[in-house]
Amino acid sequence: MNENALETKVARELRIAGLFPSSFSEPRPGGFGLQSEGAKVAVVWVPSGELTEVAFKRLGAGDAEHPSVLHMGEVKLAMGHAIVQILRSAGLNADMSADEFSPGIVEVTDLAPPGPVK
């Protein structure tokens, strides 16, 4: 499966699960964004504008431990895990990114090998 076909399949599976598309580079609040990176597709969840605005203001002020910042991180992580499960159920090989600087990012590499969904 080429990367464009993989990105199209990922987007389709997330849409039919009821999630709305956004953009990876210019995220619209409350949706998922996709970005092809070689043979994989990265998926990011974008929380609401209200949460994002407050959290980024606190981050800009150097307050990385503010409850809104921590909450936004938890929301992105929870949605990332949900996205992994949705995509695995659809037969795709999806996992949370191992990059510690990309929390909540899901990486999809191709169709999953046959076997039970965990």
Domain ranges of the chain: 3-111
* Token duo for residue 27: 């995220």
Tens of pLDDT, residue by residue over 31-90, are 899 999 888 999 998 888 888 889 989 989 999 899 999 998 899 999 999 999 999 999
Q: How far apart are CA 22 and CA 34, in angstroms?
A: 8
pLDDT, one tens digit per residue, over 53-67 is 899 899 899 998 999
